Amino acid sequence: MKFTPTKLPGVILIEPDVFGDDRGFFLESYQKDKYVDGGVPLEFVQHNHSNSKKGVLRGLHSQLKNPQGKLMRAMRGEIFDVAVDIRKGSPTYGEWVSVVLSGDNFKQLYVPPNYAHGFCVLSEEADIEYKCTDFYDPESEISLQWNDPFLNIDWPIDNPVLSPRDQKALSFKELEKKFPSFV
């Protein structure tokens, strides 16, 4: 299993060992001791499954109270996955990283608490499973504009399908006063 830090502190690309033969394949999608050793220090309390069609963009989301770390994995299809550092005072504040996750490449992305996260679907359909380090708290959730010019994320999509909540998302500068401080 390979754990590769990204340019954002705590955001880690994970490439599991995949054992395949003519019957199919086997991989460990999570093993606590290996993940802790690889830099994913928190335990997970919630496991989610999302299905989306091509062109859907979900995010950029975070929670101000009970912030969630997320271990993202595309089970089927392909997504462009993004993490944004929203920790005021961090050396990488306002920066983002992206990775393509797919059912074929088996990669995972760990996004720590106090980062914003989002993804768009590149394939006809995608099933995404992700583990969370804290419970969903709709009262403290924030949604950043996916195409905020300050962030300047290089999304591989021009006119995504957005939820009503994401259509009303606020800009980075509008939400900035609510962001957590980097310690």
Is 18 a member of any domain?
no
Report the CATH number that the domain containing residue 83 is assigned in CATH: 2.60.120.10
Residue 115 sits in which domain range? 43-178
The active-site residue, picked from 35, 110, 115, 130, is 130
Is 2 a member of any domain?
no
Give the pLDDT score at 158. Answer: 92
Is 130 an active-site residue?
A: yes
Is 183 a member of any domain?
no
Sequence-separated (6 or more) residues with CB below 8 Å from residue 83? 6, 8, 11, 96, 97, 98, 109, 111, 115, 116, 117
Bond from prior residue into 122 cis (ω within 30 degrees of 0): no
Burial call 27-60: b when 16+ CB within 10 Å, e when fewer: eeeeeeeebeebbbebebeeeeebebeeebbbbb
Sequence-separated (6 or more) residues with CB below 8 Å from residue 171? 144, 145, 148, 150
Give the pLDDT score at 42. Answer: 84
Query: Is residue 183 scored above 70 in pLDDT?
Result: no
Per-residue confidence band for 41, with pLDDT thresholds at 50, 70 and 90: confident
Q: What is the pLDDT of residues 150-180, one digit of tens each?
A: 999 999 999 999 999 999 999 999 999 999 8
Is 61 an active-site residue?
A: yes
Calculate what percentage of the chain has a pLDDT beyond 90: 95
Is 3 a member of any domain?
no
CA of 161: how far to CAs of 120, 127, 144, 166, 167, in Å?
9, 16, 15, 9, 9
CA of 5: how far to CAs of 8, 21, 100, 153, 155, in Å?
8, 30, 15, 20, 21
Per-residue confidence band for 26, with pLDDT thresholds at 50, 70 and 90: very high
Q: What is the pLDDT of residues 60-116, one digit of tens each?
A: 999 999 999 999 999 999 999 999 999 999 999 999 999 999 999 999 999 999 999
**Which candidate, 21, 16, 48, places its Cα nearest to that of 31?**
16
The active-site residue, picked from 35, 47, 61, 115, is 61
Domain total of the chain? 1
* Longest Cα separation, the chain: 54
Is 26 a member of any domain?
no
Is 68 a member of any domain?
yes
